[in-house]
Every structure is written in C-alpha cells, then in structure tokens.
C-alpha cells in the first residue's frame, strides 16, 4: 500500500491515459467566481456543522450541562484533590471471599450466580466522601462494593448501609454534595444553603427521616448493606420482576462489643481484626417489588411486607490493604450486570456508571499513594 | 491484483466496486461511532445505552476494517485527478493510510482498554469477547488516553478528508467524488 500502486502507473497503461496523472490545470466545467464562492461556503458550512456538532456532543459548548467530568470535579471542589483515589468512597479496604448460592434466587433470575454453588467474590469496604484519610465516624455512610463472577459473567454492585438513598436524581445528588461542603470556620455545611436545598427537595427530607430510624450498627461486620436501586430480574421462563437487593449480616442482633478505641481508623481496624479471627457472613436478600412500587426513585422504600428471597451466603474471608491488582483497581460500576439482570427506569445507576467511569479513568492516570487503612500495621 | 472486469473509462477512473461499497458502508458506522463516543463520555443519562451500542459497533468496524484492508491490498487505485498537485497527492495518500491505521487500531484500543480494566466485553445479551490485555490499571490508563487521542485524530482526519473532497467537488468542480460513487454519474469529459 504505497503511493505507487495507482492503476494508471502500470507499464501496460496507455500513454495518453497516463497523461491525466499530470497536473495540467483545470479542465472540468467552467469555474465562475460565484460558483467557487458558493462551493467554499458549502464546504465551510459542512465543516462548521461537523466540528460544531462534535464539540456540542462532547459538552464543550454546553458549560451548564452536568457531565461525568463536571460531576467528578464537584467532588474535588468539596474534598480537594487526592491523586490516585476514588472521587467518592475514597477511604477503603480490599476484601475477598465467596458467595454460596442456595439456588433460591434462580426462581426469579437466570444469572449463573444464582444457581446452586460457590462463586468467588472481590469486595471493598469503604466510607463515603472523597477524603482518603478521613477519621472513621459512626455516622459516616459505609459502603460495600462487590464483584461476583460466575460462568464468565460479572455482577458488580456498590451498596451502602442506609436503607434508602437521599436523592432521587443525579442532579440533586450533585447539588447536595456541593452544599454539604464544610465551611472553614464551623466545619459544617452552610446552614442556609442546606436549608434552601432541602426546601426544594422534600424527597431528601423524607429519606433522611427513614435513615434516622435505622441508626448505624457498631461496625462494618454487623452492617446491612443495601443496593438501593431497583433492577429487573428475569428468570429462565422469561418472567421479569423488579428487585432491590441487600446483604444482611448473620451476626445481626448480637450485641456488638464496643470498640477498644475510637481511633482514627477504628471501623476499619475492627473489621481487620475480626476477619483475622473468623469469616464474616451476610445473607443476600432479593426483595421483589409489586406493581406500583417505585423502581425509579431510590429515596422511597418499598412496603416492608414485600417478599424477599434469601439467595445464599456472602462470606468475606480475608481483607487486604488496597494496592495494585486488588479491589483498589476495580470500578464497582453498578451497571456491570450478568445476563438476567437489567437496569430499571431509575436514573441513578446510569449516572453512577458514567461518573464511576470518569473517576476510575482519572485515578488510573494519577500517581498512587498508599491507603490509609493498612492491614499489616493493624495486625502487627 | 484483480481485474476489474471492465474496459470502460468509468471503470478505470473509479475505485473498484467492492472498495466503493465498503467505503459507504463504513463511513456512517465510523462517523456514528465517533459521535456516540464523544456524546457517551459527556452524558449521565445516556452513558449506558450509548456504551451498549459503542462496544458491538466497534467490533463491527474492526471486522469491516480488516476486510477493507484486504480489499485495499488486492485492488488497484484509480489515477489521481489532474486537479491534484504532487503535494496534495502525497497528503491524500498519507491521510488514507492514517485512516486505515486508525479504524484498525481504535477498536483494538477500546477492546484492550476494557480488558485491562477487567470489564466484561459484552456485545449482545450473554455474548462476550475475551479480554486481550492483562488486568492492569496502568495499562488501562495508557490505553484509555490512547483511545481519546486516536478518536480526536480520527475525527480530525475524517473532517479534513470530507473537506478536501468537497473542495474538489464543489469548488474546483472536478467531480472527484465520482471516483467513489455508488450512484450513477455522468461520464467524465
């Protein structure tokens, strides 16, 4: 494929035809000034639509549009920039274990993960917020990300320990994140801005009330983690139902021993010490929605009477300091779903997927620093 | 090199029929893919939907690009028009190679990038492609940056290509576009 493979340059090409290959000046139609100007105008028009359309699509001509990049930048505005860490849920600990499916989930979902058997799990415990070295506090939202792999199909989920989400739309979550920025003098959000936000978002006020009714447990090990968003599950017969899932600790109800100290990393330190002694188990509960239950609003709970399927046991058997190759390098994108689970009309998972991807790309390209939570230091 | 099976003048001044068909099949795919890609990464609501189109469309483009490369290597090109200077001919040839290189390497970069990030390469339903790169976040970082850089380069080259053809066709009126036409054209003067 070089410039010499033009057909006319073959040796058997008629000589008069080869002459056409020489620039001999225009010999096509009569060029008029008017025609040329019209032509130039048309070319400029096509170029403008092409480049302008591309720039518009990419968000460069829409400074007000909330793009994944601007969403990720919002976290940086509130928490500062911390190279190599997630923009949210920055402080965390990698974990591994397994999910023992009892086969009951197969009644509503054809995904291989719900067939009876064991699948490997990679997890990550985390605290909400963009500070990778924040002090552990009981009220900070706790997260559990999971990656389950069965039959070559992945299921990723990122759950938190509150029963409903505080925002029903990505836009509201973004605004609330910005107004939650602590003021330098008080260390608390601007009360006027927060009040104005809550005035405009009664769904957030209602969700906060629900969250207050279930105070956080002592630690990670006895926390219930909720998937929050509704997804559609389809079984092998083709029947589809809306589902919200959660993992419920098997130690729930047991009186948690008060932590030895409320050190800076006490939640993670307790988790590390507990897992060193015994595996931690949760039951994976699939709660089935009924007609009329909201699938598009994670701030609204479903009635308590909804049927739940106990699909099996999640066991966390080991935890690891975040480092190259473990959960640190996994994007717990809530839309990586196995065949048999699909997104619902909830607007949050799409936005989470888009923003997690941006956050993952940013931190992948940044230099990495050691994690605040260090297993060896805790166990030594 | 295949015989184009025709001794009419039109046949020798046009690209071979398979080349023309491949060109017009791929052009909308590549343009759509560029716009889907740039829209996708700037969208919260449509990101998953566009990504679900972007992956299989990228694979389709890769398949067509391989077929097209094979076609390119086995067919002769028509002569340049007299309205093109030697410098313009060189630019046209090199931009053609650049476009071929990009439509081959860009889908591979996307595929490798998802592999490095440990993502499943889902096409339709349960249909997946295997990974083609080790699970490595640093590899992902580089591949992701390449994917963007190649996309901008491909968009710029595509834009230059379209503008150049239009300048010839609409300003110089040399009927350059007839060489790639899959529609009836007047015989050249």
Nearest Cα neighbor of A148 from A139, A161, A136, A157 is A157
CB contact under 8 A, A39 and B171: yes
User: Is B8 or B18 the better-scoring residue by pLDDT?
Assistant: B18
> In this structure, are A125 and A47 located in the same domain?
no
Q: Does B127 touch chain A (CB under 8 A)?
A: no
Model pLDDT for residues A82-94, shown as the tens digit of each residue: 999 999 999 999 9
Mean pLDDT, chain A, whole residue set: 91
| pLDDT score recorded for residue A259 | 57
Longest dimension (CA), chain B: 59
Question: What would the two tokens of residue A4 be?
Answer: 């010499």
User: Is residue A42 domain-shared with residue A116, that is, in the same domain?
Assistant: no
Q: How many CB atoms lie within 10 A of CB B65?
A: 24
| DSSP β-bridge partners for residue A371 | none
Max alpha carbon distance in chain A (Å)? Answer: 98
| Contact at CB, A29 and B173, closer than 8 angstroms | yes
Whether A31 sits inside 8 A of B140 (CB atoms) is no
From the list B49, B145, B166, the residue facing A42 with the nearest CB is B166
**Angstroms from A307 CA to nearest CA on chain B:** 28
Contact predicate A247/A184, CB 8 Å: no
pLDDT over 70, % of chain B: 93
- Asked whether the predicted pLDDT for residue A257 surpasses 60, the reply is no
* Domain total of chain A: 2
A360 contacts in chain B (CB < 8 Å): 117, 140
Band of residue A33 on the pLDDT scale cut at 50, 70, 90: confident
Q: What is the pLDDT of residues A270-280, one digit of tens each?
A: 999 999 999 99
Which residue, among A58, A110, A328, would best test binding to B if mutated, counting the most B CBs under 10 Å from its CB? A58
Scanning every residue of chain A, which has its alpha carbon at the shortest distance from the alpha carbon of B78? A7
Per-residue pLDDT tens digits for A121-139: 999 999 999 999 999 999 9
Per-residue pLDDT tens digits for A200-219: 999 999 999 999 999 999 99
Q: Is A190 left (phi over 0), alpha (psi -120 to 50) or beta?
A: beta
**Is there a catalytic annotation at residue A17?**
no
pLDDT, residue A262, reads: 78
pLDDT category, A21, cuts 50, 70, 90?
Answer: very low
**pLDDT category, A300, cuts 50, 70, 90?**
very high
Q: Which residues of B touch A22 (CB under 8 A)?
A: 82
Please write the tens of the pLDDT for every residue from A340-359: 999 999 999 999 999 999 99
Using the predicted structure, report yes or no on whether residue B5 has a pLDDT greater than 80: no
**Residue B12 to residue A17, Cβ atoms within 8 A:** yes
**Residue range A164-168: mean pLDDT, rounded:** 98
Q: Do residues A232 and A366 share a domain?
A: yes
Query: For chain B, what's the residue count?
Result: 189
Give a yes or no: residue A224 inside a domain: yes
Determine the average pLDDT of the residues in B76-87: 94
Whether A15 is covered by a domain: the verdict is no
Q: Pick from B34, B47, B81 the residue to mutate for testing the A interface (most A CBs within 10 Å).
A: B47
Which of A4, A18, A350 to probe by mutation at the B interface, max B CB count within 10 Å? Answer: A350
The predicted pLDDT at position A42 comes to 96
Is A68 in contact with B73 (Cβ distance < 8 A)?
no
Query: Do A142 and A46 fall within a single domain?
Result: no
**How many residue pairs bridge chain A and chain B with CB atoms within 8 Å of each other?**
179
pLDDT greater than 50 at residue A95: yes
User: Do A51 and A83 lie in a common domain?
Assistant: no
Q: Quick one: A39 and A159 in the same domain?
A: no
Judged by CB atoms closer than 8 Å, whether chains meet at B42 and A68 is answered as: yes
Picking from B41, B44, B113 by the largest number of A CB atoms within 10 A of its own CB, the best residue to mutate is: B44
Give me the residue from A23, A324, A354 closest to B43, CB to CB. Answer: A354
Distance in angstroms (rounded) separating the CA atoms of residues A41 and A53: 18
Percent helix, strand, coil in chain A (nearest 5)? Answer: 35, 20, 45
pLDDT tens for each residue of B39-59:
999 999 999 999 999 999 999
Contacts 24+ apart (CB under 8 A), A25-32: A25/B82, A26/B83, A26/B172, A26/B174, A27/B82, A27/B189, A28/B83, A28/B172, A28/B173, A28/B174, A28/B175, A28/B189, A29/B173, A31/B172, A31/B173
Q: What is the pLDDT of residue B189?
A: 60
pLDDT above 70 covers a percentage of chain A that reads 89
What element of type H or E holds A94?
strand A91-101
Q: Report, in this order, helix, strand and coil percent for chain B, each rounded to 5.
A: 70, 5, 30
Mean of the pLDDT values across residues A144-163? 96
List the single residue in B72, B140, B166 with the smallest CB-CB distance to A46: B166
Mean per-residue pLDDT, B48-74 = 98
pLDDT at A52 over 80: yes
Same domain, A45 and A129: no
A124 φ, ψ (degrees, to nearest 5): -150, 120
The reported pLDDT for the residue numbered B6 is 40
Q: Is residue A192 part of a domain?
A: yes
Lowest mean pLDDT among A255-264, B9-18, B68-77, B98-107: A255-264
Pairing state between β A91-101 and A240-249: unpaired
Active-site entry in A17, A82, A89, A201:
A89
| Residue A232 and residue A313 share a domain | yes
- Spatial distance between the Cα atoms of A87 and A79, rounded to a whole number of angstroms: 9
Question: CA-to-CA distance for A321 and A199, rounded, in angstroms?
Answer: 42
Chain A residues with CB-CB distance to B82 below 8 A = 20-25, 27
Name A353's Cβ contacts closer than 8 Å, sequence gap at least 6.
A333, A334, A335, B47, B48, B51
Residue B7 has pLDDT above 70, yes or no: no
Q: Is B134 on the interface with A (CB under 8 A)?
A: no
Chain B nearest C-alpha distance from A6 (Å): 5
- Residue numbers of B between 49 and 88 with CB closer than 8 Å to A: 49, 51, 72-73, 76-86
At which residue do the structure tokens 């002769």 appear?
A: B76
- B149: contact with A, CB 8 A cutoff: no
SS (HEC) of A155-194: EEEEEECCCCCCCCCHHHHHHHHHHCCECCCCCCECHHHH
- Rounded to whole angstroms, the Cα distance separating A215 from B75 reads 73
Provide the pLDDT for residue A256. Answer: 52
Are A198 and A106 in a shared domain?
yes
In a domain, A13, yes or no: no
Q: Which residue of B has its CA nearest to A34?
A: B171
Contact A366, A83 (CB under 8 A): yes
Do A248 and A305 have their domain in common? yes
pLDDT at position A30, please? 61
H helices of chain A, in order, are 15-18, 33-57, 68-79, 170-179, 191-200, 202-213, 266-277, 347-365, 375-379
Predicted local confidence at residue A10, as pLDDT: 39
Q: Is residue A93 in some structural domain? A: yes
Band the pLDDT of B177: cuts 50, 70, 90: very high
- The Cβ-side half-sphere exposure at A269, using a 13 Å CA radius, reads 17
The Cα A271–Cα A217 span in angstroms is 13
User: Which residues in chain A have their CB less than 8 angstroms from residue B73's CB?
Assistant: 1
Q: What's the confidence (pLDDT) of residue B125?
A: 84
pLDDT band at A115 (very low <50, low <70, confident <90, very high): very high
Residue A107 lies in a domain: yes
User: What integer pLDDT is reported at residue A336 of this predicted model?
Assistant: 97
Query: Do both A223 and A346 map to the same domain?
Result: yes
pLDDT digits (tens, 9 = 90+) for A170-187: 999 999 999 999 999 998
CATH of the domain at A220: 2.40.180.10
Does the pLDDT of residue A107 top 70, yes or no?
A: yes
Residue B77 has its nearest CB partner, among A7, A58, A331, at A7
Structural contact between residues A334 and A349, judged by C-beta atoms closer than 8 angstroms: yes
What is the C-alpha separation between B3 and B88, in angstroms, rounded? Answer: 28
* Residue for token pair 């893919």: B33
The predicted pLDDT at position A232 comes to 98
**Geometric angle at alpha carbon A330, from A325 and A333, rounded to 5°:** 170
Handedness of CA A23, A28, A32, A38 (dihedral sign): negative
**Chain A residue closest to B81 (CA)?**
A21
Domain range enclosing A36:
32-63
Q: Taking CB atoms and an 8 Å limit, are A6 and B80 in contact across chains?
A: yes
How do beta strands B121-122 and A225-226 pair? unpaired
Mean pLDDT of A255-270: 76
Does the pLDDT at position B85 exceed 70?
yes
**Hey, where are the domains in chain B?**
13-76+97-180
Band (pLDDT 50/70/90 cuts) for residue B187 is: confident
Task: Say if residue A55 is in the same domain as residue A135.
Answer: no
Evaluate whether residue A305 is within a structural domain. Answer: yes
Angle subtended at Cα A139 by Cα A133 and Cα A143, rounded to the nearest 5 degrees:
65
* Mean pLDDT of the residues in chain B: 93
Backbone angles phi, psi at B135, to 5 degrees: -70, 105
């Amino acid at each position: 494929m070089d410039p010499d493979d033009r057909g006319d340059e073959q040796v058997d090409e008629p000589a008069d035809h080869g002459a056409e290959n020489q620039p001999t000046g225009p010999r096509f139609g009569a060029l008029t000034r008017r025609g040329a100007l019209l032509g130039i105008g048309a070319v400029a028009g096509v170029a403008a639509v092409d480049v302008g359309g591309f720039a518009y699509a990419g968000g460069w001509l829409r400074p007000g549009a909330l793009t994944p990049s601007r969403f990720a930048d919002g976290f940086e505005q509130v928490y500062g920039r911390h190279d190599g860490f997630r923009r949210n849920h920055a402080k965390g600990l990698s974990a591994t274990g397994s999910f023992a499916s009892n086969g009951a989930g197969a009644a509503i979902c054809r995904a291989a993960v719900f067939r009876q058997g064991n699948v490997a799990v990679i997890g990550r415990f985390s605290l909400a917020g963009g500070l990778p070295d924040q002090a552990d506090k009981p009220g900070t939202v706790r997260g559990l990300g999971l990656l389950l792999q069965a039959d070559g199909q992945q299921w990723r989920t990122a759950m938190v320990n509150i029963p409903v989400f505080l925002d029903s739309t990505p836009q509201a979550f973004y605004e609330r994140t910005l107004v939650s920025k602590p003021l330098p003098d008080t260390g608390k959000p601007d009360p006027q801005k927060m009040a104005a936000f809550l005035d405009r978002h009664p769904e957030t006020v209602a969700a906060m009330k629900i969250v207050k009714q279930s105070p956080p447990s002592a630690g990670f090990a006895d926390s219930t983690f909720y998937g929050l968003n509704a997804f559609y599950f389809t079984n092998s017969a083709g029947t589809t139902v809306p589902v919200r899932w959660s993992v419920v600790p098997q130690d729930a109800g047991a009186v948690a021993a008060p932590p030895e100290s409320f050190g800076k990393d006490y939640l993670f330190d307790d988790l590390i010490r507990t897992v060193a002694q015994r595996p931690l188990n949760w039951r994976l509960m699939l709660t089935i929605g009924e007609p009329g239950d909201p699938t598009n609003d994670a701030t609204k709970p479903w009635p308590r009477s909804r049927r739940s399927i106990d699909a099996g046991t999640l066991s966390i058997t080991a935890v690891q300091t975040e480092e190259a190759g473990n959960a640190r390098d996994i994007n717990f994108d809530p839309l990586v779903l196995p065949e048999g689970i699909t997104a619902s009309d909830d607007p949050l998972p799409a936005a989470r997927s888009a923003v997690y991807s941006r956050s993952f790309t940013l931190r992948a390209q940044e230099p990495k620093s050691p994690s605040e939570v260090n297993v060896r230091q805790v166990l030594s | 090199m295949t015989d184009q099976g025709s001794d009419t003048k039109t046949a020798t001044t046009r690209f071979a029929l398979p080349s023309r068909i491949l060109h017009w099949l791929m052009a909308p795919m590549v343009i759509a893919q560029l716009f889907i890609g740039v829209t996708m990464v700037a969208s919260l609501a449509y990101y998953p939907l566009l990504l679900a189109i972007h992956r299989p469309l990228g694979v389709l483009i890769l398949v067509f690009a391989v077929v097209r490369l094979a076609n390119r290597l086995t067919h002769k090109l028509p002569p340049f028009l007299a309205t093109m200077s030697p410098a313009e001919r060189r630019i046209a040839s090199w931009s053609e190679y650049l476009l071929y290189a990009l439509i081959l390497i860009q889908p591979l970069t996307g595929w490798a990038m998802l592999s490095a990030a440990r993502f499943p390469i889902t096409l339709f339903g349960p249909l997946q492609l295997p990974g083609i790169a080790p699970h490595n976040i640093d590899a992902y970082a580089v591949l992701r940056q390449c994917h963007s850089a190649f996309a901008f380069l491909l968009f710029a080259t595509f834009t230059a290509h379209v503008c150049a053809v239009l300048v010839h066709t609409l300003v110089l009126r040399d009927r350059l576009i007839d060489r790639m036409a899959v529609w009836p054209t007047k015989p050249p003067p």
